[in-house]
């Protein structure tokens, strides 16, 4: 469970690692004999991009039931009817999920409790970039931190007991949280007299959209180290996956035309295709085993975390972030859920 942590700090620069991942890594397609018959999966943000393609790949391996968890039911139903036509044997359902709302997350978890006879796989893929510093009115947190970190981790923790109880007997449940290579070079400055979350919400501090996206994903590296202390890999295998830079998704749809054009050409040269990017999800979720528990899977292998995780500031912020996040999630009884999981 400590493989990524034990790999230690990579000596190469983030840029060199990035270029090697994009150009020098051989794609490792999942073995053709994977059989997901009987399995039930939830994939968040699965009406476009990597989430949709990963869902399709799971269905190609015989997945029996897919929950498309998406904020627009109309968009989700459009995608679901295409998937139903392609995979008539599978049961495909669309459930609403707004990652800016804790109520929406809890409602989805409630449905999973009451309506799903089984839950084998959860891929937490919903994520965003933005150009504007913005606070989510319902929670008071900066939007990127809210969607990419806080809401993702709340959903992860609330799904853990269901994955433990409802995965196929003898098989651990699988929880894969989508991360990003941008986290590799990210840092968080010391909160200086306040909590980590308050510092990240402070609109008077300098804010850069690219840096903040990377930080929102770095928070996942810091959090998973503490989270997996509560999770037995015989019950649920939890990992992070970095799909690499992937072209032709809607991640930069927020951007003004000139920025969007830059990203388009940048990704056209450097980016992986969507099927290749999505294959990393299938790899992390159904090919990798217990060795990936608590780890970052990147380039189809267990990899080091971001450099910041191995610094003394990183250790200090990791502990503070855990405390802040547990406090934030108190309303959902998260400490009790985590303690119960250990039994
Ligand atoms: N593309 C890349 O190069 C790359 C690289 C590294 C990591 N990633 C990560 O991969 C994941 C998928 O990204 P993508 O490239 O496939 O982009 P995408 O096509 O924009 O997919 C993102 C998905 O997340 C959903 N989402 C965003 N905000 C949400 C919210 N508040 N509530 C519920 N759903 C929300 C979107 O829903 P709507 O359809 O309703 O907008 C969309 O389905 C993200 O976590 C991203 O950070 C991408």
Q: How many domains does the chain have?
A: 1
**Ligand 1 center–CA 194 separation, angstroms:** 30
- Which range is least confidently modeled, 11-25, 94-108, 269-283, 294-308? 11-25
Question: Which residue's CA lies nearest to atom 17 of ligand 1?
Answer: 251
Whether the predicted pLDDT of 210 surpasses 80:
yes
- The mean pLDDT of 185-203, rounded to a whole number, is 90
Q: Which CATH number goes with the domain that contains 36?
A: 3.40.50.720
pLDDT for the residue numbered 172 = 98
Quick check: is 9 in a domain? no
Q: Is ligand 1 within 6 A of the CB of residue 243?
A: yes
Task: Note whether residue 8 is domain-resident.
Answer: no
Mean pLDDT of 234-251: 96
Task: Report yes or no on 4 lying in a domain.
Answer: no
Q: How far is the CA of 109 from the centre of ligand 1 (A)?
A: 20
Is 2 within a domain? no
pLDDT at 316: 94
Asked, for residue 223, whether it belongs to a domain, the answer is yes
Domain assignment of residue 303, given as a range: 14-23+31-341
d(CA 314, ligand 1 centre) in Å:
26
In a domain, 56, yes or no: yes
DSSP 255-309: S-HHHHHHHHHHHHHHPBPHHHHHHHHHIIIII--GGGTTEEEETTEEE---GGG
Q: Is 213 a catalytic residue?
A: yes
Percent of the chain exceeding pLDDT 90 equals 84
Does ligand 1 have an atom closer than 6 angstroms to the CB of 100? yes
- What band does 7 get if pLDDT is binned at 50, 70 and 90? confident
**Who has greater pLDDT, 19 or 106?**
106
Per-residue pLDDT, 148: 98
Residue 220 beta carbon below 6 angstroms from any ligand 1 atom: no
- The pLDDT value recorded for residue 11 is 78
Determine, yes or no, domain membership for 51.
yes
Three-state DSSP class for residue 82: helix
Flag whether pLDDT at 16 surpasses 90. no
In a domain, 6, yes or no: no
Q: Is the dihedral of CA 262, 266, 268, 272 positive or negative?
A: negative
pTM for this prediction: 0.97
């Amino acid at each position: 469970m400590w493989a990524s942590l034990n790999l230690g700090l990579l000596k190469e620069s983030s840029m060199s690692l990035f270029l090697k991942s994009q150009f020098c890594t051989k794609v490792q397609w999942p073995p053709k004999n994977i059989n997901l018959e009987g399995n039930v999966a939830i994939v968040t943000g699965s009406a476009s991009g990597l989430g949709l393609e990963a869902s399709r790949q799971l269905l190609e391996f015989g997945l029996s039931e897919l929950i498309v968890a998406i904020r627009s039911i109309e968009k989700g139903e459009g995608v679901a009817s295409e998937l139903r036509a392609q995979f008539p044997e599978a049961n495909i359902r669309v459930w609403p999920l707004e990652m800016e709302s804790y109520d929406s997350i809890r409602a989805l978890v409630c449905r999973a409790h009451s309506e799903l006879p089984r839950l084998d796989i959860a891929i937490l893929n919903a994520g965003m970039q933005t150009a504007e510093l913005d606070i989510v009115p319902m929670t008071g947190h900066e939007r990127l931190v809210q969607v990419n970190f806080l809401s993702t981790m709340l959903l992860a923790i609330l799904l853990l007991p269901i994955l433990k109880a409802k995965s196929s007997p003898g098989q651990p449940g699988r929880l894969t949280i989508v991360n990003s290579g941008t986290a590799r070079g990210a840092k968080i400055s010391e909160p200086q007299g306040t909590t980590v979350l308050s510092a990240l919400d402070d609109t008077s501090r300098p804010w850069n959209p690219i840096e903040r996206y990377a930080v929102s994903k770095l928070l996942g590296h810091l959090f998973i180290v503490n989270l997996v202390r509560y999770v037995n890999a015989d019950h649920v295998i939890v990992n992070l996956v970095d799909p690499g830079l992937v072209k032709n998704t809607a991640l930069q749809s927020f951007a003004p035309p000139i920025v969007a054009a830059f990203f388009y050409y940048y990704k056209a040269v450097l980016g992986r295709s969507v099927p290749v990017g999505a294959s990393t999800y299938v790899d992390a979720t159904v090919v990798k085993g217990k060795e990936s528990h608590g780890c970052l899977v990147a380039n189809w292998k267990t990899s080091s975390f971001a450099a910041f995780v191995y610094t003394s500031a990183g250790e200090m912020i990791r502990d503070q972030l855990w405390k802040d996040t547990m406090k934030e999630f108190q309303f959902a009884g998260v400490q009790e859920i985590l303690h119960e999981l250990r039994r």
